[in-house]
Amino acid sequence: MRSYYSEADFYDYDPRTDIDPLCCCEFFDRNNERSHLLVTCCCCCCCFRSASATETIATNSKLTGSKLGAMLLTFQDRLRIPWRGGAKQITLDNVLTLVILIGTLLLTAVHSYLCLVIMLLLPLVLLYLKRLFGVIHPKTKFFTIWFFGSCVYLVALFELTVPLLEILPQENVGFVVLMTLAFLCLLKTKQRAVLNHLSTLPDVNGVECGKGSKEQIVLFSDRDDSDDGATDSDSGRLACQLCRKYVPPRAYHCKVCSSCVLRQDHHNVWLNCCIGKSNHRLYLAGCIFTLLALLVFANLALTAVCHPTPIFTLYGIIVMMPDDCTDIFFQYDIALCFTGSVYALIMATFVAIAILKQICFISFGLSFSEWRRGEHVKRRNCLWNWKAFCLGQ
C-alpha cells in the first residue's frame, strides 16, 4: 500500500503498478491513515465506510478549542477532488488564487476607467510576483493555477456570455478545438517533464570513481559543449557541481526541481516544470495552439459585442474586425465580453513573445539556459537545427 503520492503520481499514476490502489475518492489523511471522502459509501467504486465519524460528531455537542481546531484541520484535509489513484487535496492558497483571478476579471467590467487601470497594472503585478516568488517560494503553483484558470474562464465566458447568435457554429467549434489542443499539449508537457530529470546517473563519489580511476571530472563551470559531446579534456566526464553526478552534455541543474535536466531550455513558472528534451516540442506546440485560441476568442468576442466590419473572406468564412466599441459598458455582460477579449489579447502578447524567443533560440541551435550563461556555441545552420529539434535529436 502506498502512503504518499508525489506530483508526478498526480499525472502519471498507473493502477497496474499499485498493489493496493486507492479508489478515486480515497486518500491518506494527515495521520497517514487510509480514509474516504464519503462517510457511508462511494457509488463509483462500491466501497463502504462506517458512519462512526458522524455519530461521534453528533454525540459530542460541546465543542472546545482543541476540538474546533481538529475539525478545521479535518475539513482542510478532506477538501479534495476525486482523482484516479486517490483524491487530490485542494489547498486554500489554490482557491485564493482562483478567487483573486475571477474577482479581478469581473471587476474590470464595472467601468471603463477601472478596466483601463486594472489591465495596465495586471501585467506589471504578475511580473513582480514572478520575481518575488522566484526568491521566496520558487515551487509555487500560483502561476500554473492562474494560467489554466484564465483559460477555463475564457472558455466559460465564450460559451455562456458571448451572444451565440452572432457566431457561426464552425467558429465556435474551431475555438473549442484550438483550446482543447492547447490544453492537451501543455498538460502533456507537464507530464513528460519528469522524463528530463537525470536522477539515476552514477555518483561522482560513488563506487565507479573510487577504484583508482584517473578519469578527469569536468564540472559545469569548466566545460565547453559541442554537438559531439566533447569537453575540455579528451578523457574528461561532465559532472554536476550541486548533485555530484555524472551528466551528459547540455544538461543543467535546476534549483527549483532539485535535479539535473537533460538539454534544459528553461524552468517555466506557468507550468511549474522544466522544459527540456522530452517536452520541448510539446511546449512549443502548446504555445502556438494557445496563441491561436486567444486570437480567435478575441476576434469573435469583439466582433460579437462591437460593430463589426468585414475585412476578407477565407474558405467561405467572412473575417471581420471590430469597428466601434464605445457603448459596451452600458450593459454588464457585454462589458464582460469586451474585458475578456482585452485580457485574452494581453495573454496572447506574452505567449507570442515566448514563441518568438523559442524560434530564435531553435534557429541558432541554443537553449535559453545556454544563452543566459553566455555559452553561445555554434551548431551548424538554421535548417539543420530545426530538423534536429523536430526529430528530437
- Give the chain's domain count: 1
pTM, two decimal places: 0.74
Would 137 be classed as within a structural domain? yes
Contact 157, 337 (CB under 8 A): yes
Q: Return all residues near 29 (Cβ < 8 A) that are at least 6 apart.
A: 35, 74, 77, 78
Would 117 be classed as within a structural domain? yes
Q: What is the pLDDT of residues 279-331, one digit of tens each?
A: 999 999 999 999 999 999 998 888 888 877 777 777 766 677 777 777 788 88
pLDDT value of position 200:
59
**Mean pLDDT for the stretch of residues 142-146:** 92
pLDDT value of position 55:
41
- Amino acid identity of residue 206, one-letter, is G
Which is more confident, 241 or 185? Answer: 185
Secondary structure (3-state) at 267: strand
Would 343 be classed as within a structural domain? yes
Domain that holds residue 300: 97-197+269-359
Q: What is the pLDDT of residues 117-137, one digit of tens each?
A: 999 999 999 999 999 988 888
Q: What is the pLDDT of residues 168-222, one digit of tens each?
A: 788 888 899 999 999 999 999 998 888 888 765 555 555 443 333 444 434 444 4
Would 235 be classed as within a structural domain? no
Identify the top-confidence range among 16-20, 178-182, 218-222, 383-387.
Answer: 178-182
Contact 249, 238 (CB under 8 A): yes
* Residue 26: its H or E element: strand 26-28
Is the pLDDT at 147 greater than 80, yes or no? yes
- Amino acid identity of residue 140, one-letter, is T
Would 281 be classed as within a structural domain? yes
Among candidates 393, 391, 366, 389, which has minimal Cα distance to 377?
366
Secondary structure (3-state) at 316: coil
Would 292 be classed as within a structural domain? yes
Which is more confident, 69 or 117? Answer: 117
d(CA 379, CA 374): 15
Contact 63, 5 (CB under 8 A): no
Would 227 be classed as within a structural domain? no
Would 12 be classed as within a structural domain? no
